[in-house]
Amino acid sequence: MLPFKTNITVFIVEFLCSVLLQAIYTVSEYGVERAFVVALGLIPVLIVFLLSYKINNQKVVVYCLGVSGISSLYYMSYASHTQGMLVFTFLASATTLTLFLMKEALIGYFSLTIVILVLMGILQKEVIEVFFDTSQYVAFITMYAFSGVALVFTCYSVAKYKKEMDEQNEVAREALEAKSNFLANMSHEIRTPMNAIYGMAELLEERNFKPEEKEYVAVIKRSSENLLSIINEILDFSKVDSGRMEIVEEPYDFNEMLQDVITIIEFRMRDKNLRLQLEIDSHVPTKLIGDETRIRQILINLLTNAVKFTNQGTVTLGINWRDESAMYNMERGRMTIAVQDTGIGISEENISKLFTAFGQIDTRKNRNVEGTGLGLAICKSLTDAMNGSIHVTSKLGFGSTFSVVLPQKIYDVTPSNFSVKHQAAAQVRSSFRPDFIAPKARVLIVDDNKVNRQVAQELMRIFGINAAQAESGREVIDKVSQQLVRYDLIFMDHMMPFMDGMEATRLIRQMNNEYAARVPIVALTANAIKGVEEQFLAVGMNDYLPKPIRVEQLAVMLKKWLPREKLFPAGTPIEEVERREAALSMQNLTPEQMLDRLDGIDTNTGVRNCAGNVKAYIELLRTYASSNLPNLLQDFYEKEDMQNYAVIAHSIKGGSLSVGALDVAEKAYALERAGKREDLNYIWDHHEEMLEEYNEILEMLKRYFLPGRRI
C-alpha cells in the first residue's frame, strides 16, 4: 500500500532490470548492435511513465503500463529470440503490477498474456524449444495461470483490507475531528462565562469590602485566571490535534522575545525558593526569522514545567547557536534550547509518557500540581511543525533536562550579546524605585500575545496597579461600549490580527459617548520609527510606548495620563488610599447617586416615608447617622438594665424603619420585646449581631453624609 507514484517507480525499476538482463544476454549471443535494438523496447514504458505525471486518472495509467509492458517485453523477447523466457518476465511484471491493487487491470493483464503465451506455443514452437521442450512449456504456462489466480486473489484481499483500513481511518479521523471540535467549542463556551466571572470580580474589587471578603474576591480572580489558562492550553492543543495550528515565520528580535519570557518566569518563581540561571550564547543573531509566538510558547511551557516540579535549587535556561550558513549556502542556523532543573526528576519508565496528551506522570505524587498535562504534548507538536526536535534526559530525584533544537533563518547577523544587555537592564530595574503608586487606577492592557499581556500586567504591579486584559481589538471595543468598567488608561497593542490597534482606536473614538471620546489610549509598539507617532495621533491615540516596555518609561506614561487624584506617594498605606479615594468619589456624586450606593437600606421605603422628598430624606439620614443610641444600648446591656434597654431598642427600631434599614429594625424590635419580658438569654445571643450591623450602617452613612456636605 505504497503511494501511487512510488508504485510506478518500482514498476519502472523492475522493468529496467528486465531490459538489462535481456541486453546482457543479447550482447553475449548477438553483439552490441542487437542489444541496442532490444533496449528500444524500453521506450513505450518510459513514455507512459512520463505521461503519468500529466494524467490524473490512475486507472488509465495502470492499464497503459500493463499494455506497454506486455508489448515491450514481447518485442524484446522477439528481438533477442528469447520467447521461451517470456513467461517469466510476464510473471515479474505481473507481480509489480499487483502493487497497484487494481483487480480488473490484473485480470486483463493475465488474460492477454496467457493468450499470447498459448499462441506463441502454437505458432513459434521451434523458437521456444531452443530453451524448453513442449511439455515443460505447457507446465510453465499452467504455473503462470495458477500464479495469476493467486496474485488476483492477493490483490483482491489486500484491496479489501485497505478499504476496511481506510474506512476505519476515516472513522478515526472523524472522531479526532469531533474531539478537537468539541474541545474547541467547549473551551469557547466556558471562556464566555469565565470572562464574565472575571469581569464581575474586577468590579467587586472596587467595593469597600472587609479584608476577608476581599480575599474571597481575589480567590475568584486567581481561579478564573487559572481556568482561562487551562482553556487556552486546550484550545492550542485542539488546533494542533486537528492540523489547524499554522507556523508563521517572520523576523523577530531575539533579545526582546527572551526578555519577555524571563520576566514572566521570574514573577512565577517569586513564591518559591528557586533561582533562575541563564547561559545564553552571545553569538545568537540579534534578529532571526521564525515563528516568535510558538518559540515563546515552547520556552514558557518548558520553564513553567521546571518551576512546577522544582521546590528548591535552580532552573537553568541555556541557549546555544550553531551557524550553518556555509552548509546550506544561505544565512541560517540551529538554535538549541536546554531547560535544566534540580527538581523531582522522572523515572526511566515514565519518560516515554511525557509527550502524551492529557498525561501527567506520577499523578498520585503530583496531585497538587495544577495543569492539563498538555504543555509538553504541545511543545512536541510545535517543534515537529518547525522541523525541530525535542528530547529529555532525567534521573529520579536529581532533576531533568529538556532540550529543543530549532532551525532558524537569520535576518540580522549582528550578535545579540543578550547576557550583557540583560545585566544592564537588570541593574536599571533593581535601581528603579517608583515614587508613586496608583492602586485604584483602572488600566486595560490590549494585546493578542498572552506573554506580552502578562509582562505588562506584572510591570503594572510595581505601581500597585492590578491591570485588566483584553486579547483583541474587538474585545476592547466591547468593553468600552458596555462601560462595565470605566478605564482611566488603555494600553493598545499596535499590531494585532483581524483588527489592529489603530482600527480599534478609530472605532472607539467614533462611539457616541463622552467616555469613549476622552479615555486616554497609549499605543504599545515595536515599530517606534519616525512618522509612526503622527499615524497614532491621527486615529485618536494619545501617545505611544515602545516595546519592550521599560519600567522607567512606563512610569513616565502612567504619570502623564492617569488622573492626578489617583496618584499617591510611594509607601502610602492602602487604608489611606481607600479613604481618600472614597472621599473623592463621594464629592463627585449627586444625592441620587449617593443613595444608589447605600447597602442594607431600602432607600425607596425611606423616600416614601418622606413623602417623596429626596432632600428631606437625606437630612433624615444625617440625623440617623448622628445618633448616640449604640452607646446607650451597649451601656444598658452591660448593666443588664432591661427596662431602659427595651426603650433604646424601641428608638433604634423606629429610626431604622423611617430610613428604610428594615433588617436592623426587625432585629431591634425582637430585642425590644426580649427586654420587656426580661429574656436575658435571647439578648445575650442576639445583641452583638444587631449592634454590629447597626454600627456598619451608621459608619457608611457618616462617610457619605456627615463630612459637612449640604444639599
Q: What is the pLDDT of residues 500-532, one digit of tens each?
A: 889 999 999 999 888 898 999 999 886 555 456
List pLDDT tens digits, range 118-159.
888 888 878 787 777 778 888 888 888 888 888 888 888 888
Bridge partners for 491 per DSSP? 445, 522
Q: How far apart are CA 441 and CA 14, in angstroms?
A: 79
Among 43-52, 71-80, 337-346, 366-375, name the most confident range. 337-346
- 286 secondary structure, DSSP code: E
CATH code for 434-569?
3.40.50.2300
Q: Which amino acid is at 40?
A: L
Mean pLDDT across 304-330: 87
**Prior bond of 211 cis (ω within 30°):** no
Strand partners, 521: 490
Average pLDDT over residues 605-634: 87
**What per-residue confidence (pLDDT) applies to 339?**
94
Tell me what pLDDT residue 373 has. 54
Write down the pLDDT at residue 709. Answer: 43
Q: Quickly count: other Cβ atoms within 10 Å of residue 457's Cβ.
A: 19
Asked if the model's pLDDT at residue 308 lies above 80, the reply is yes
Contact 539, 506 (CB under 8 A): yes
CA–CA separation, 374 and 304 (whole Å):
12
Q: Give the contacts of 184 (CB within 8 A, at least 6 positions apart).
A: 234, 235, 238, 239
Up-side HSE of residue 545: CA atoms within 13 Å toward CB?
25
* pLDDT value of residue 656: 92
For the chain, the structural domain boundaries read 4-132, 250-428, 434-569, 591-705
Greater confidence (409 vs 231) lies with: 409
Nearest to 269 by CA among 237, 210, 312, 328: 312
Tell me, rounded to whole angstroms, the distance of Cα 525 from its chain centroid.
22
Q: Indicate if the alpha-carbon torsion angle 651, 656, 662, 664 is positive or negative.
A: negative
Q: Using 50, 70 and 90 to split pLDDT, how confident is the model at 368?
A: very low
Does residue 372 surpass a pLDDT of 50? no
Residue 403's pLDDT is 94
Q: Quote the pLDDT of residue 167.
A: 83
Between β-strands 443-446 and 489-493, what pairing exists: parallel, antiparallel or unpaired? parallel
Alpha carbons 136 and 140: distance in angstroms, whole number: 6
For residue 152, what is its C-alpha cell? 488476483
Question: Quick check: 441 and 364 in contact, CB under 8 A?
Answer: no
CA–CA gap between residue 276 and residue 201 (Å, rounded): 33
Residue ranges of alpha helices (H) inside 269-373 are: 292-308, 325-328
| Per-residue pLDDT tens digits for 551-563 | 888 999 999 999 8
State the pLDDT at residue 319: 94
Which of 38-47, 91-100, 302-311 shows the highest mean pLDDT? 302-311
Cα 178 to Cα 156: distance, rounded to the nearest angstrom: 32
∠ Cα 304 406 457 (to 5°): 35
How confident is the model at residue 565, as a pLDDT? 82
Q: Is residue 371 predicted with pLDDT exceeding 50?
A: no
Q: In this structure, what are the phi and psi dihedrals at residue 687, rounded to the nearest 5 degrees?
A: -60, -50
Q: Which CATH architecture has domain 250-428?
A: 2-Layer Sandwich (3.30)
- Residue 366: pLDDT above 50? no
Mean pLDDT of the chain: 81
- Least trusted range by pLDDT, from 346-360, 362-376, 423-437, 444-458: 362-376
